[in-house]
Structure 1
Amino acid sequence: MTPPKIALIGAGSTVFAQNLLGDILSFSELANADIRLFDINQERLDVTEQVAHRVAQAVGAQPGVSATTERARALDGADFVINMIQVGGYKPATVTDFELPKQYGLRQTIADTLGIGGIMRGLRTIPVLADMSRDMERLCPDTLHLNYVNPMAMNVWGLARLSPRIKTVGLCHSVQHTAQELATDLSIPVEEIDFLCAGINHMAFYLKFEHQGQDLYPRLMELAASGQVPESNRVRYEMLRRLGYFVTESSEHFSEYVPYFIKRDRDDLIEKFNIPLDEYPRRCVSQIGGWEDLRVKLQNPDEPLEVNRSVEYGSLIIHSMVTGQPRVVYGNVMNSPSVGSGKLISNLPEECSVEVPCLVDRQGVQPTRIGRIPPQLAALMQTNINVQALTVEALVTGNREHIYHAAMLDPHTSAELDLDQIWALTTDLLAQHGDFIPRKLQAAD
């Protein structure tokens, strides 16, 4: 069997790359894979290259490992492309996405998926992904692109419009992480839970959650009604009470996808629902510190490198496609995967990105048709889809006005700011981000 060629784009995300490499190389069938590491930051790339060799040694694998700052070299002939870039980084881009809106009284928690921060992240990320996809069309047209980059739904949607030839599936860990959390809350081993989940990324819901054929929703509703829920999950349990279904993404994320929890002059809500404002910048600082710790650790040959399998789907998809072993994963794909194929979720728009269970084997990633989902869930998702659609439309058409329309329709932004404020903030953000935004969309002089 020819070793698969696997390119990691943005490999300077060393800790995440370490997890993925450990997952991949732990499979005997992938232990001699051709691993190509790419990043624009040479220092971080060097550290990840060291990590790759240390991981291989720890699991007894003998892969080919190469590192390059030339993206084309990493992509050339790749069977799989794993994407984990962050355009603009923590500084200046993420800091701008948080600090400038605060000047208008708009507070955020994560700002990487929706909201004004998510819109800006999409505007600076999708063009880079599209440029990379054009390279893939030339260098590895039959590759499978595994995207881990947020804003997930916008990215998958934007690539479907701008580079439809490349097969892309978006991967997140919110489905499996939340299943583990709920299993813990109910004191049931997660491997005994049977669930079905569907929706859009970060706003998918468990349509079925069972243990040995018994519906677990009555127990979850009792827990929600008791108020004795984990402090970190108060938002999601509150939404369970209101909607009847549990959402996959964390409470801190979800609090800024809706207009109910983060409100000006309502710090009582922040306290009641334990909402960690400015959470993502804190995580970034912690991750930067973690990278420094890892770099120092790697320089000590006596320090063991621990390798544990993660819950990420990437290695499972690669293994199933290489070996034919069938698996079910949750992936983000277009609601109509091909022309005339029909919708996977029938009461969501045909042209949007959805998160659904997918069968994976030698034939690739095959999404499951869900049909209708509960109407209240579809309606809530539509409020987020509106923002995604307009952001993608701005990038595809070059119409700057659609950026303002996206911000205007964003649930959290529109609940906090009036129209003049939304227009002014959007203009300021576009100007501040400068060349990270496509020139045709930059603020006028």
Structure 2
Amino acid sequence: MSDLFDQSPGTRPDRTGEAPRPLADRLRPQTLSEVIGQEQILGPDAPLSTMLESGALSSLILWGPPGVGKTTIARLLAHETDLHFVQISAIFTGVQELRKVFDAARMRRQNGQGTLLFVDEIHRFNKAQQDGFLPHMEDGTILLVGATTENPSFELNAALLSRAQVMVLNRLDLARMELLAQRAESEVGRKLPLDPRAREALQEMADGDGRALLNLIEQVMGWKIEGTLDVAALNKRLTKRATHYDKSGEEHYNLISALHKSVRGSDPDAALYWFARMLAGGEDPRFLARRITRMAVEDIGLADPQAQTHCIDAWETYERLGSPEGELALANAVVYLALAPKSNAAYVAYKAAMDAARKSGSEPPPKIIRNAPTKLMKEQGYGDGYQYDHDAEDGFSGQNYFPDGMKRGVYYVPVERGHERELKKRLDYFNKLRLQRNG
């Protein structure tokens, strides 16, 4: 294994005669106090700081987006604890390589030297490979620090998670990106040739990724220009970084949840924002059409019966027009839903009725409402006493339609909003008549 990935703490490879190092490498923090952001795990009394102060560092899973310091923190932890640092990637490491890593760590341990094994993209290992770490973690051969951009709850084995603490790293906000930009300017020895708005636009292009920002800064610093560039000039020279979005991963579910809750919360602006974020990330508009229709059924229901129709029409419009014109129809539906009166009364009633149906088993309908197409059925009393509602006063008989002996269920409770206000009046009216006609 090369000395670049297998280092004693505090040592660096000899780079004499090499090409100039990238800016991101030159600015790599030398101590944990130099790490920008991540105060939630590195600040005073934060989990990692507490572990280091007590001398009880445990195995860790560092979970966060790209470019926020996972690798740097792992290296610095090894330095702080005098552990030998070994870095591998789950993408390029097989069983044979892992065995060599464990054997070398075991030899070091026998010689009194511990090993911090940093595994990048640890979620790429399959279940069997993840299980292979367990005995070496338990006997102290390695202290494992895994890095992942995916939710560990979905991607890592429960056995591995039970032996490691998950530390969540956050994307860098603009204030911290600005601090990183200032460090870069100090390292290079001159200011970025950008006006204030272009400077902010450059940071936005990096989308919370510190490494990406430093790479962009290095590009800009290499340009031979006079004066400063504005946003338009910057955009001509740089391509905006693709938004981080995984259509099958946690980010997908986070964004659709944000869209759904914004609609439920009657906030059309937030709903449109999350809708646009998903489209910009490459989400299939048909998936969005389906989920928007579900919102109409689940969160608006009978408070506005037109909401569901509006969504179906928008879905059909998209199918006829395609992208990008058809996406406007879906956007219209999002705004309509956000501003529609809300009710989940029918949804709650449906779930309650399903629960009652499971509990009541095979209870038959009362005989008065059973069909009697044969003589035998008539002799058994099927249909006896049934009152034809159209012949009853007010078109309502008030008969019992639940199974005999079953307590009458109350599942649908309409709200005093939108069209359901009228439905509540009808329901109250029929309940009153039912009480009168049944004594």
TM-score using structure 1 length: 0.23
TM-score using structure 2 length: 0.24
Higher strand proportion, which one?
1
Bigger radius of gyration, 1 or 2? 2
Flag the structure with more relative contact order, 1 or 2, with Cα contacts below 8 A and sequence separation at least 6: 1
Higher helix proportion, which one?
2
